[in-house]
Structure 1
Amino acid sequence: MAEAETPTIALRAPDTVMKLARLGAFHQTRLSFMRQLLRRMKAEQWRFEERVFDIDTNGVGHAVYVAHTPRHSYSLVAFSHDLPADQRSDRVIATAWDATFTLFDGIPDEADIARLAKNVPRQEGGRVSERELSLSRANRSVRLWDYVVDRLAAGKQPDARKIAEVGYLMRTTAVYGSGKFGAADRDALADRPEFRAPFQVEMLSVYLTRAFVMDLVEHMARVRAPGQALALDPVLRRRFGIGNSTGLGMAPFLITHPALLNNWVASREEALRRVRALPEAPRATVSAFRQTAARARIHAHGWRSEHPGQQAKLEDLRADMLALTEHLDTADMTAPYPWDRLWRWGEATLSLEGQEQLVSLLLEPHGDLVDDLCETMSADEEDNWRIDGAMPLADLRVIIEDVYGWALAIDWSAKPAQARIWYTSEEKLEPRMGERFEEPLAPYEQPLCPGRDAALMHAALAASDAPTVAEFLLKHPEHRHIARRAQIAAQLPYAEIRDNTIDASMMPIDMLRMKLSFFGACHFDPRSDRWVRINMYQNAPFPEDLARNAADDWTLPRLPEVGE
């Protein structure tokens, strides 16, 4: 290709990327937080030990699993309970669980265990200290737990097909960190390399929880049949992840942390841009990509959901992965800029599901090129929080029209445009969403619709003769929050969801899926438009496997061997 024909590879526009429908089609990538953590564990040769496993014949007791990093040790302290079936609930208002956990900074002594035993099982009802880094709880899978215990106790392995139907033995219903209920603030840990990336405390807690759950189910089988029970076959064992039920509480996080949101998406978009900008594709890389695409097609066919919206997305994804496979059979990957050509084909051909899966696939064989972007994904929100009061008011108006042009085109007097309302529940202090015209919630509304608020401020700007932002806000302090957001979005292009977050047709699960994709979650299974189940660490190596197995080749199912 002549120099004059060299394509200009730009980042995708925020107006393209930051729409809810596209965010709700994001997939995990090699930048996702679980994968970052396991790569670090492998590279730094973390050591793991089961320090305590004191569980009785009823499945009641506690265990301590320790991860030793080069500089620190962290202990998952797990409490196992004998929970009656009628008390098992995934709802946040639950007060009892099959298991409760905390991630402890260091190795707990007997006094620590005694203190934690009084508080961790109570979750919100208890209190933890700055020595604790997270607080979490989990419930057994009703469909799978007893079945696996029964099979192992009978001296048989569980059926792989039944494992595939659920994929986990326990699912967490909350994993709290960053100072909640007295746990350590993130600022206290931010200088530790292992926790510099977002949500590494929570990802480590879930990873160790998975190890405990697998040991617990084997323990319960041995209790039932001491001389006959089997341990899980290692291949089957790895097929279990940790489930998670996530609801509305997670959605506002993306709105209240604009700098962090920007850095997550900007890292992903820069990774895509780098791959597309490669002028050629080595044969080995193309081969690796083809294999990854084939594995993604298997993954799409193994993904199940009963939610009609997700079922439609899965039909699109399966068709897209077939189209990609067929395209790769004829695509000339020796032509200049082959990855950009492939991306442009995908943009023109695939659904949103397929396009965002293609982003993940394009990054996969290019770790050397993109993995350094993991270092850019954290953020200090205070760095951009100060309002620039000296900014000329005309400049703020230009920003509003640029960033929120989509919102200025909405008729905010129409009921469907403002049908929803975000508020905080009195009982659990958790974010909730109600119907504005059906419930008396207006006095409790949270500022979680930047688009509407930007349109209101834009109207006030037009009627103001103030020369600066500071003088305008002195007269109109109700617009301070959106003036701040606009100035942040002017510097950080992916800081704002460019869609109406209170529209009657808005799907909160789009925000949930976007965030969970950055965690590294797979198999999104919405249970309504407001909560979703996922699987974490399915097929990942266990702590004892990391030394002799790859840390980062587990998110997609392997290709069948010859003869299988």
Structure 2
Amino acid sequence: MTEVSRRAPQVVMRLARLGSMHQSRLSFMRVLTRRMARENWRFEKTAFEINDNGVGHAVYTAHGPDRSYSLIAFAHDLPPEKRSDRVIADAWDATYTLFDGVPTGSDIERLSANIPVQEAGRVTNTELSVSRSNRSVRLWEHVVDALANGHQPSVEKIDAVGYLMRTTAVYGSGKLGAADREMIADRPEFRAPFQVEMLSVYLTRWFVLDLVQHMADVRARESGAEAVALDLDIARSMGIGNSTGLGMAPFLLNHPVLFNNWIAARENAVQVVRGVQSATAEDISLFRDVFERNKKIAETWVSEHPIQIEKLAALREDVEKVDGYLADADLNAASPWNTLYEWAEEHLSLEGQEWVASLILEPYGVLVDEFAEGMAADNTATFRIAGAMKIGDLRALLREIYGWAIETDWTAPASKARAWYVSEEKLEPRLGERFEEPIEEYEQPLAPGRDAAQLYQALAHWSEDAQVADFLLRHPEHRHVLRRVQIVGRAPYAEIRDNTISDHVLPIDMLRCKLSFFGATKFDPRSDRWVRICMYGNAPLPHELSNENADYWVFPQHEKATA
């Protein structure tokens, strides 16, 4: 191995770079499908009691080596005027819970009174997640109608949307009374982050495909005909959509240790692969194959948002540059991946650089997959303030981590133009205009850079040898950011090194960063504050999941030249 330094937080943790990240081997969907295939999980549908109006419940159970988990899905006949993706909605096309084990009839009866009403209901610690979804109405109707009339739906129409239903929330970790994360964190299958939610979505996809087929069968039967079965290749191409807005953006700021562990795992993986001294013929072949398949993602990735259109144009130029590089490069030479990465740093956009950083990991599961085991976080110890810390040490930390913030002119309106708050009407995080709306008194503590600069200023007259505890007795208003500084001192990737309330902050950068760790591709921003994605598109269906298809499904198949 070649000695290669890990990328510095000052480089990685800028919003523009975080907003250019791509899925990788460490993305949570792929972590789950690899595990389920490796451990030979078994899947079965144990109930499908849906009537001709599309109302009822179904149960899908995943049997792991030690435990079983069941998705209980409730289907509803939702009037069009009630269909809304907002968090304040009170009705959906389908609602779900991931149950710990196999439910009894009494469990289903209890949950039928609670899951369909979501926030208005309550669940217990046998429920691991609560979720809901709405149909993509035009595509749903097209698929039902096509199958009912004896032919397959349009592949072009399906590719343009990618999903039949989109989730509007997948709640876990104690929401509505569901099991707290601590109750399941020591289970191997849930050790990596968001595995409960990823399993819920994977099983939801199965249910949605069954439901659309059921509704097509009903429609055909009503006309005295027989529907055709949805082609497996078409079924596999569809995932589950998701509309993600500002509610997710504060997550990265509110979970600094967890965020650090995600980024650190990826950076460790990139460092290890860049340090590979020589690549085998098999490694090179796999990399070139994945690169070719990724070119199709870049070609078919579309967006109507100006920012993403510009980034896509840059990415496509980058793809051509990498194509040219690989045509001439000798990947059998020493340190081929470090050479490629350093070339990318010099010649590609941030989008292209992060694309390459993810791609070089693909041949090296044996080196990097284990980093997923360290991506969860126990915050208990890290949230204790070290009161004996000397003020001099605190000052040094502030200068190292928040030097950019200390140098920012926080009296300038542009530096603090925005404010994060929670909307009373929508019950969602919002980013408002500080000088145009009466929101400042409701501001959430989501501007750590500004708060760190204020802390640094408040320390001006304190002795280097004074203790933090003494300072906080006088100035308790700085407690929250002082704790944060100490956390970042131990977890260097915990902090975004940018102004989160400036006049040019783009919340979609935070959204994309988080969603890339979920494993999303083809991000489609609808504004600078919300984005649509598709999850599990092209993933193997439960009955066909194997070690051979459990990992690289995320990359489109490409047509290889034939002699």
TM-score interval for Structure 1 and Structure 2 normalised by the shorter chain: over 0.9
Overall identity of the aligned pairs, in %: 60
Between the aligned partners of 2:511 and 2:184, the Cα distance in structure 1 is: 25
Match of 1:185 in 2: 180
CA deviations over 1:138-188 (Å, ceiling 9, x no partner): 011123110011111111111221111011000001111100111110011
- The answer to whether the Cα contact below 8 Å between 2:146 and 2:153 also exists between their aligned partners in 1 is yes
Match of 2:420 in 1: 422
Q: Shift of the alpha carbon at 1:284?
A: 1.7
Aligned: 1:203 with 2:201? no
1:353-432 map, 5 Å: 353-427=351-425, 429-432=427-430
Match of 1:308 in 2: 306
- The answer to whether the Cα contact below 8 Å between 2:87 and 2:427 also exists between their aligned partners in 1 is no
Change (3 A) 1:236 1:561: farther
Q: Shift of the alpha carbon at 1:383?
A: 2.2
Q: Shift of the alpha carbon at 1:456?
A: 0.2
TM-score normalized by the length of structure 2: 0.97
Match of 1:507 in 2: 506
Question: SS at 2:134's partner residue?
Answer: strand
Match of 1:286 in 2: 284
Between the aligned partners of 1:206 and 1:185, the Cα distance in structure 2 is: 19
Counterpart residue type for residue 493 of structure 1: P
Between the aligned partners of 1:463 and 1:125, the Cα distance in structure 2 is: 52
Between the aligned partners of 2:77 and 2:502, the Cα distance in structure 1 is: 43
Between the aligned partners of 1:148 and 1:48, the Cα distance in structure 2 is: 25
Match of 1:3 in 2: none
1:232-271 map, 5 Å: 232-271=230-269
Between the aligned partners of 1:111 and 1:15, the Cα distance in structure 2 is: 54
Question: SS at 1:144's partner residue?
Answer: helix
Q: Shift of the alpha carbon at 1:244?
A: 0.2
Question: SS at 1:252's partner residue?
Answer: helix
Q: Shift of the alpha carbon at 1:430?
A: 3.0
Between the aligned partners of 2:547 and 2:478, the Cα distance in structure 1 is: 57
Match of 1:474 in 2: 473
Q: Shift of the alpha carbon at 1:562?
A: 4.5
Counterpart residue type for residue 478 of structure 2: H
Match of 1:459 in 2: 457
Q: Which segment is superposed worse, 81-90 or 202-211?
A: 81-90
Counterpart residue type for residue 140 of structure 1: R
Match of 1:115 in 2: 110
Between the aligned partners of 2:243 and 2:418, the Cα distance in structure 1 is: 23
- The answer to whether the Cα contact below 8 Å between 1:297 and 1:322 also exists between their aligned partners in 2 is no
1:490-529 map, 5 Å: 490-529=489-528
Aligned: 1:486 with 2:485? yes
Between the aligned partners of 2:99 and 2:427, the Cα distance in structure 1 is: 25
Q: Shift of the alpha carbon at 1:561?
A: 4.4
1:277-356 map, 5 Å: 277-356=275-354
Counterpart residue type for residue 409 of structure 2: D
Between the aligned partners of 1:45 and 1:26, the Cα distance in structure 2 is: 31
Match of 1:11 in 2: 6
Between the aligned partners of 1:163 and 1:377, the Cα distance in structure 2 is: 34
Q: What count of residue pairs does the alignment treat as equivalent?
A: 559
Between the aligned partners of 1:498 and 1:432, the Cα distance in structure 2 is: 21
Question: SS at 2:70's partner residue?
Answer: strand
Question: SS at 1:171's partner residue?
Answer: strand
Between the aligned partners of 1:45 and 1:107, the Cα distance in structure 2 is: 18
Match of 1:142 in 2: 137
- The answer to whether the Cα contact below 8 Å between 1:258 and 1:381 also exists between their aligned partners in 2 is no
1:132-171 map, 5 Å: 132-171=127-166
Q: Shift of the alpha carbon at 1:463?
A: 2.4
Q: Shift of the alpha carbon at 1:110?
A: 1.5
Between the aligned partners of 1:53 and 1:109, the Cα distance in structure 2 is: 14
- The answer to whether the Cα contact below 8 Å between 2:155 and 2:234 also exists between their aligned partners in 1 is yes
- The answer to whether the Cα contact below 8 Å between 2:148 and 2:226 also exists between their aligned partners in 1 is yes
- For structure 1, the 5+ residue unaligned runs are 1-5
Q: Shift of the alpha carbon at 1:258?
A: 0.8
Between the aligned partners of 2:422 and 2:180, the Cα distance in structure 1 is: 22
- The answer to whether the Cα contact below 8 Å between 2:415 and 2:499 also exists between their aligned partners in 1 is yes
Match of 1:54 in 2: 49
Q: Which segment is superposed worse, 462-471 or 185-194?
A: 462-471
- The answer to whether the Cα contact below 8 Å between 1:178 and 1:185 also exists between their aligned partners in 2 is yes
Question: SS at 1:360's partner residue?
Answer: helix
Between the aligned partners of 2:500 and 2:314, the Cα distance in structure 1 is: 25
Counterpart residue type for residue 176 of structure 2: F
Counterpart residue type for residue 197 of structure 1: A
| Residue among 27, 32, 38 paired with 1:37 | 32
Counterpart residue type for residue 122 of structure 1: V
Between the aligned partners of 1:69 and 1:365, the Cα distance in structure 2 is: 27
CA deviations over 1:218-263 (Å, ceiling 9, x no partner): 1111111134211111111110000001111111111111111111
CA deviations over 1:395-445 (Å, ceiling 9, x no partner): 100000000001112110011111111112335543222111111112211
Between the aligned partners of 1:70 and 1:416, the Cα distance in structure 2 is: 55
| Residue among 127, 149, 165 paired with 2:122 | 127
Between the aligned partners of 1:238 and 1:279, the Cα distance in structure 2 is: 38
| Residue among 178, 185, 189 paired with 1:194 | 189
Question: SS at 2:360's partner residue?
Answer: helix
Between the aligned partners of 1:7 and 1:232, the Cα distance in structure 2 is: 51
Between the aligned partners of 1:11 and 1:547, the Cα distance in structure 2 is: 34
Match of 2:538 in 1: 539
Counterpart residue type for residue 312 of structure 1: E
Question: SS at 2:62's partner residue?
Answer: strand
TM-score normalized by the length of structure 1: 0.97
Between the aligned partners of 1:444 and 1:229, the Cα distance in structure 2 is: 55
Between the aligned partners of 1:548 and 1:354, the Cα distance in structure 2 is: 30
Counterpart residue type for residue 322 of structure 1: E
Question: SS at 1:151's partner residue?
Answer: helix
Between the aligned partners of 2:67 and 2:58, the Cα distance in structure 1 is: 20
Between the aligned partners of 2:560 and 2:282, the Cα distance in structure 1 is: 20
Q: Shift of the alpha carbon at 1:547?
A: 4.0
- The answer to whether the Cα contact below 8 Å between 1:393 and 1:468 also exists between their aligned partners in 2 is yes
Q: Which segment is superposed worse, 540-549 or 313-322?
A: 540-549
Question: SS at 1:133's partner residue?
Answer: strand
Question: SS at 2:114's partner residue?
Answer: helix
Q: Which segment is superposed worse, 220-229 or 150-159?
A: 220-229
CA deviations over 1:66-88 (Å, ceiling 9, x no partner): 11111111110101111122221
Counterpart residue type for residue 224 of structure 1: R
Counterpart residue type for residue 135 of structure 1: V
Change (3 A) 1:131 1:518: same
Q: What RMSD over aligned residues (CA atoms) do the two structures have, in Å?
A: 1.4
Match of 1:555 in 2: 554
Between the aligned partners of 2:241 and 2:437, the Cα distance in structure 1 is: 33
- The answer to whether the Cα contact below 8 Å between 2:38 and 2:547 also exists between their aligned partners in 1 is no
Q: Which segment is superposed worse, 337-346 or 463-472?
A: 463-472
Question: SS at 2:87's partner residue?
Answer: coil
- The answer to whether the Cα contact below 8 Å between 2:275 and 2:335 also exists between their aligned partners in 1 is yes
CA deviations over 1:426-475 (Å, ceiling 9, x no partner): 35543222111111112211111110000000001112347111111111
Counterpart residue type for residue 192 of structure 2: A
